[in-house]
Amino acid sequence: MGTEALDKRQQQQEQLEILKSSYRSAWEGAFGQFMFLMAEQYSLELTVSVNGQMAESPIVKFWKESLQSLTPNQMREGLKRYMKSDRRSFKPTPGDIEENVKDVAGVDKPIKKYSPDCGGCHGTGFRMVERRSKLTGNTVKVAVDCFCVRIEYDEKSVAPVERQLPPPSQEDLEKVAAKIGNVGCRDQRLVGGRQRDRPHIGADVGCP
């Protein structure tokens, strides 16, 4: 892999990290508001003093762990609904909040998108590649993200690193096509993928 390809891969990795951390801060912000409202309503201690230092109280830690799977919008909506319910005078449990948003789609988080009519994965988002198992040393088939997969969040769209290997050069493609011995199999992305995933290409490589 050339330097350019490594740069590209690193860039992609960084973009993914930025996307994740921007979701992380949106989540922390929503959680902060959630706990603030809870504290106001149910007189909770949000901070405790540990050796003279202010720290998150155990109740905040407990709620933070319990609400991990909810998105910012689900947290807000869950609490809003609870506050409107007959039980609002009782302190809710995380289960109460989750129960309240069972019908609220968690779309405000990074979401994996793939093409339903992609020829590489037939709309599954996965393609199979061969890898050497670190455990046994045997070659095993594993599912990785297809070339059509994108991770979308907050109007940004990033390709997962797995598919961000460099596109093969025309020369490489021709070599591979010649080795495969099937001129009908000219899907550049697929040939490129197989070439990269399988260092030793045999005549057994079929066309999709």
Binding site for Zn ion (CB under 5 A): 118, 120-121, 146, 148
Exposure string over 140-167, b if 16+ CB within 10 A, otherwise e: eeeebbbbbbbbebeeeebbbbebbbee
125: nearest Cα among 107, 151, 155: 151
Q: Which residue has the tokens 């993200």?
A: 145
Q: How many CA atoms lie within 13 A of 96 on its CB side?
A: 15
Q: Which is nearer to Zn ion, 101 or 146 (CB)?
A: 146
CB of 167 to Zn ion, least distance (A): 16
In the complex, the smallest distance separating the C-beta of residue 163 from Zn ion, rounded to whole angstroms, is 9
Q: How far is the CB of 176 from Zn ion (least distance, A)?
A: 20
Measured from the CB atom, the residue of 74 and 164 that comes closer to Zn ion is: 164
CA 179, CA 174: separation in Å to the nearest integer? 8
Which residue, 79 or 148, is less far from Zn ion as judged by CB? 148
Q: Which is closer to Zn ion, CB of 114 or CB of 153? A: 114
Q: How far apart are CA 123 and CA 199, in angstroms?
A: 26
Q: Least distance in Å: CB of 182 to Zn ion? A: 21
DSSP at 146: -
